[in-house]
């Protein structure tokens, strides 16, 4: 049988609406809200002929499918390629791209390394680096929020947290972009990102080895679990690779998106300055409002159903987290960015057994950064057009010109 984007073509059940859209068109990726609302309006589940997949975007259904690991598996890939039919471009992740029981073992090790206590212990280092970078950008006055803050901060704190002896900020960011573009179809974005695999992947693989890690970072914790026999040493290297795949580009994106939201909504920035305890809820609202991971997929591991419609085994389903996090039925006024909304239950970090294992760390990084900004910045103003950087799975900015007005002391 001829495959489409590495998966078996889908014959949609009678009654499933057809949505004639290319969700991976760079123009749609750069401005997705019209697509999101068409997807939600069309029905509980739709068929997208362009890639022969089903897609869900209403909050309740997206949440249900994304967290139903018994019917919708991750081991066949969270992108368009079905790993059961075509080998993936790299050995699959032993946490993101597995199902129980394999997933459970890897997850236990990762969750221990990235516990709330680990995040607390790293707080001081996060604050030191944040203070230094924010001092520098405030002195500069006009900055690019991406190149001058969103990228430098995580690419400095994250390798320190993991315990990398040597690092390469560019490779870390670009590796993340490659992994996330690979989740989409074989389009220009994926091909351009993958063209750099030969240069970047060997560096990443080397960076995950024990010799390249200090004895006191998160990476060492993973290798110590291998010494205790919980996982093998090869698996430890694979889990360190998961840190590097999933922990940098996502946070870079989260920070860029936070700067964008706060610069577009000066009243919300004023609220944060007046009450620093809003730093955490503000980040949650940024995540809901911008969904840094906009789309991940699942594969029906057996014949099942979505919202009463039969779904064949092997069907790929796009779970459009960005659409779900903007569903008016769930949020009332989703288009309004409000840092005190406290959007509990948003699915920007996923849901269920694969829910983001790095979320404690991401929150701690953002909290330290927002505190450093509030202490030093009076106003954040747009200083030009924000440009989005289309990616098959990530909603990230390419450029964000900003003017920072120092806070009166």
3-state secondary structure the chain: CCCECCECCCCCCCCCCECCCCCCCHHHHHCCHHHHHHHHHHCCCEEECCCCEEEECCHHHHHHHHHCCCCEECCCCCCCCCCCCCCCCCCCCCCCCCCCCHHHHHHHHHHHHCCHHHHHHHHHHHHHHHHHHHHHHHHHCEEEHHHHHHCHHHHHHHHHHHCECCCCHHHHHHHHHHHHHCCCCCCHHHHHHHCCHHHHHHHHHHHCCHHHECCCCHHHHHHHHHHCCCCCHHHHHHHHHHHHHHCCHHHHHHHHHHHHHHHHCHHHHHHHHHCHHHHHHHHHHHHHHHCCECEEEEEECCCEEECCEEECCCCEEEEEHHHHCCCHHHHCCCCCCCCCCCCCCCCCCCCHHHCCCCHHHHHHHHHHHHHHHHHHEEEEEECCCCEEEECCCEEEEEECEEEEEECCC
Based on the shown chain and the rule CB under 6 A, indicate whether residue 172 belongs to the binding site for ligand HEM: no
**At its nearest, how many Å lie between ligand HEM and the CB of residue 294?**
9
Find the binder of ligand HEM among 348, 372, 397, 402 (CB under 6 A): 348
Report how far residue 78's alpha carbon sits from residue 296's, in angstroms, rounded to the nearest whole number. Answer: 6
Applying CB under 6 A, the site for ligand HEM has a residue count of 27
Residue (138 or 319) nearer to ligand HEM, CB: 319
**At its nearest, how many Å lie between ligand HEM and the CB of residue 357?**
4
Find the binding residues for ligand HEM in span 112-131 (CB under 6 A). Answer: 114
Based on the shown chain and the rule CB under 6 A, indicate whether residue 368 belongs to the binding site for ligand HEM: no
* Pairing mode of beta strands 316-320, 53-56: parallel
Based on the shown chain and the rule CB under 6 A, indicate whether residue 404 belongs to the binding site for ligand HEM: no
Find the binder of ligand HEM among 80, 357, 380, 404 (CB under 6 A): 357
Based on the shown chain and the rule CB under 6 A, indicate whether residue 362 belongs to the binding site for ligand HEM: yes
**At its nearest, how many Å lie between ligand HEM and the CB of residue 218?**
8
Residue (12 or 350) nearer to ligand HEM, CB: 350
Find the binder of ligand HEM among 52, 71, 155, 242 (CB under 6 A): 242
Residue (13 or 224) nearer to ligand HEM, CB: 224
Find the binder of ligand HEM among 35, 243, 331, 337 (CB under 6 A): 243
Based on the shown chain and the rule CB under 6 A, indicate whether residue 219 belongs to the binding site for ligand HEM: no
Interaction mask 70-109, ligand HEM, x per CB under 6 A? ----x---x----------------xx----------x--
Q: How far does Cα 127 stand from its chain's mean position?
A: 23
Based on the shown chain and the rule CB under 6 A, indicate whether residue 314 belongs to the binding site for ligand HEM: no
Residue (21 or 96) nearer to ligand HEM, CB: 96
In the complex, residue closest to ligand HEM by CB: 358
Find the binder of ligand HEM among 10, 208, 356, 370 (CB under 6 A): 356
| Sole window of 7-15, 258-266, 285-293, 301-309 interacting with ligand HEM (rule: CB under 6 A) | 285-293
Report how far residue 233's alpha carbon sits from residue 230's, in angstroms, rounded to the nearest whole number. Answer: 10
**At its nearest, how many Å lie between ligand HEM and the CB of residue 173?**
13
Based on the shown chain and the rule CB under 6 A, indicate whether residue 386 belongs to the binding site for ligand HEM: no
Listed in order, strand segments (DSSP E) in 157-266 are: none
Contact by Cβ (8 Å): 327, 58: yes
Based on the shown chain and the rule CB under 6 A, indicate whether residue 361 belongs to the binding site for ligand HEM: yes
Based on the shown chain and the rule CB under 6 A, indicate whether residue 55 belongs to the binding site for ligand HEM: no
Based on the shown chain and the rule CB under 6 A, indicate whether residue 331 belongs to the binding site for ligand HEM: no
Based on the shown chain and the rule CB under 6 A, indicate whether residue 53 belongs to the binding site for ligand HEM: no
The residues of the shown chain that bind ligand HEM, judged by CB under 6 A, are 74, 78, 95-96, 107, 110, 114, 242-243, 246-247, 250-251, 254, 287, 292-293, 296, 348-350, 354, 356-358, 361-362
């Amino acid at each position: 049988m001829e495959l489409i984007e590495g998966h078996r073509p889908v014959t949609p059940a009678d009654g499933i609406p057809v949505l004639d859209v290319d969700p991976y068109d760079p123009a749609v990726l750069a401005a997705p809200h019209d697509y999101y609302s068409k997807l939600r309006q069309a029905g509980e589940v739709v068929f997208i002929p362009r890639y022969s997949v089903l897609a869900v975007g209403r909050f309740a259904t997206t949440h249900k499918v994304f967290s139903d690991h018994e019917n919708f598996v991750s081991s066949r890939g969270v992108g368009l390629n079905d790993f059961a039919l075509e080998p993936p471009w790299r050995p699959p992740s032993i946490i993101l791209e597995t199902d129980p029981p394999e997933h459970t073992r890897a997850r236990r090790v990762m969750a221990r390394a990235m516990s709330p206590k680990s995040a607390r212990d790293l707080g001081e280092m996060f604050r030191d680096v944040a203070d230094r970078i924010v001092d520098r950008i405030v002195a500069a006055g006009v900055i690019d929020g991406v190149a001058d803050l969103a990228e430098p901060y995580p690419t400095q704190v994250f390798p320190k947290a993991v315990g990398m002896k040597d690092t390469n900020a560019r490779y870390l960011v670009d590796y993340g972009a490659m992994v996330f573009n690979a989740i989409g179809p074989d389009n220009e974005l994926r091909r351009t990102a993958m063209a750099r695999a030969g240069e970047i992947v060997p560096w990443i693989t080397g960076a995950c080895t024990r010799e390249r890690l200090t004895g006191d970072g998160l990476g060492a914790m993973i290798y110590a679990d291998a010494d205790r026999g919980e996982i093998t040493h090869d698996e430890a290297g694979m889990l360190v690779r998961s840190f590097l795949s999933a922990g940098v580009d996502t946070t870079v994106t989260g920070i860029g998106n936070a700067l964008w939201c706060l610069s577009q909504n000066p009243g919300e920035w004023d609220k944060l300055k007046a009450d620093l305890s809003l730093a955490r809820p503000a980040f949650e609202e940024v995540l809901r409002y911008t969904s840094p991971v906009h789309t991940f997929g699942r594969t029906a591991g057996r014949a099942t159903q979505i919202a009463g419609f039969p779904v064949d085994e092997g069907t790929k389903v796009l779970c459009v987290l960005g659409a779900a996090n903007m569903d008016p039925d769930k949020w009332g006024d989703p288009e309004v960015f409000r840092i005190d909304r406290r959007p509990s239950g948003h699915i920007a970090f996923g849901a269920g057994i694969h829910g983001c294992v790095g979320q404690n760390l991401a929150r701690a990084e953002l909290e330290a950064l927002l505190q450093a900004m509030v202490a030093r910045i009076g106003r954040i103003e747009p200083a030009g057009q924000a440009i989005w950087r289309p990616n098959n799975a990530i909603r990230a900015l390419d450029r964000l010109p900003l003017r920072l007005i120092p806070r009166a002391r």
